[in-house]
Amino acid sequence: MFITENRLKKIYEILKKRQKNLQVFTDNVKNQHNFSAILRTCDAVGVLYLYYRFLGHGELINEEITMGSHKWVIHKEVSNIDKFFQKKKEEGFQIVATYLSEDSINFREIDYTKPTLIVVGNEVQGVSKEVLKYADKQIIIPMYGMAQSLNVSVATGVILYEAQRQREEKGLYNKPSLSEEEIQKIIKKWSTEDVIKQKKKESAMRRFLSS
Ligand SMILES: C[S@@+](CC[C@H](N)C(=O)[O-])C[C@H]1O[C@@H](n2cnc3c(N)ncnc32)[C@H](O)[C@@H]1O
C-alpha cells in the first residue's frame, strides 16, 4: 500500500506553512480531552512542535478529538525541564507563560512573530513555579465573567489565533520556515507512519468483519 499523490501534495502544502518557531509547551495538562484539543488547534494554526510534561498516567491522546491531527504535529515529552528551557533560550526563543495574576500583561501585547514558546499549565495548578521561572513574559487573557479562568485548551486557542493573526499580517505563512531538506525528511517519516496506521486500521476492520 502506498500513500496517494494527493495526500503527499497536501502534506507538502501544510509543511510549507508550518511555523517552526512558534511552539507550545503544556506543563502537566492532564485531561485527555484538553491535550487532544490543544494538539488539534496546533495543527490548525501551523504549529509543528508541541512539547509537554505529563505527570499523570494513561493515554494523553484521544483520536476522536484530535481527528488525526496528532499525526501532523510533532509532540515530544519533556523529562528534564531545566535542560529543555535552557536550550530553548539558547535557540533564541522568548518564553511566554500564561499566568493568572494582576501583574501579567495582556496576551495581545506580545510580538508572536518572534521565535516564541507559549507555555500553558495544568487544569488545577496552572503553570508550575519550576517552569514559570524561565518565563520572559507572563501573559493573561482578560476575563470579565464570574469564572476566574478559561479551559486550558480554549486559552491556548485564543493565544495561538492571536499569534496566527500577527504572523499572517507579516506574511510568515507565505514563506516556508522549514528548509526543503527538512520538509522532505518529515514527509518521509510521516508518510511511512501514515501507511502503517492505514494498514492497522484495515486489518482491524477485516478482523471485525470476519468475527
Ligand atoms: C484552569 S487554568 C488554571 C487555573 C489555576 N488555578 C491558575 O491559577 O493558574 C489552566 C490553564 O489555562 C490557561 N488559562 C486559563 N485561563 C487563562 C487566562 N485568562 N489567561 C491566560 N491563561 C489562561 C493557563 O495556561 C492555565 O495554566
Task: Indicate the pTM of the whole model.
Answer: 0.94
Model confidence over 140-188: pLDDT tens digits?
A: 999 999 999 999 999 999 999 999 999 999 999 999 999 999 999 999 9
> How far apart, in whole angstroms, are the C-alpha atoms of residue 198 and residue 203?
9
What are 25's strand-pairing partners?
51, 119
What's the mean pLDDT when you consider all of the chain? 95
Verify whether ligand 1 is closer than 6 Å to residue 23 (CB atom): no
Report CA-CA distances (Å) from 103 to 76, 106, 139, 147.
Answer: 31, 10, 9, 19
| CA of 74 relative to ligand 1 center, distance in Å | 24
| CA of 129 relative to ligand 1 center, distance in Å | 14
Model confidence over 84-125: pLDDT tens digits?
A: 999 999 999 999 999 999 999 999 999 999 999 999 999 999
Verify whether ligand 1 is closer than 6 Å to residue 132 (CB atom): no
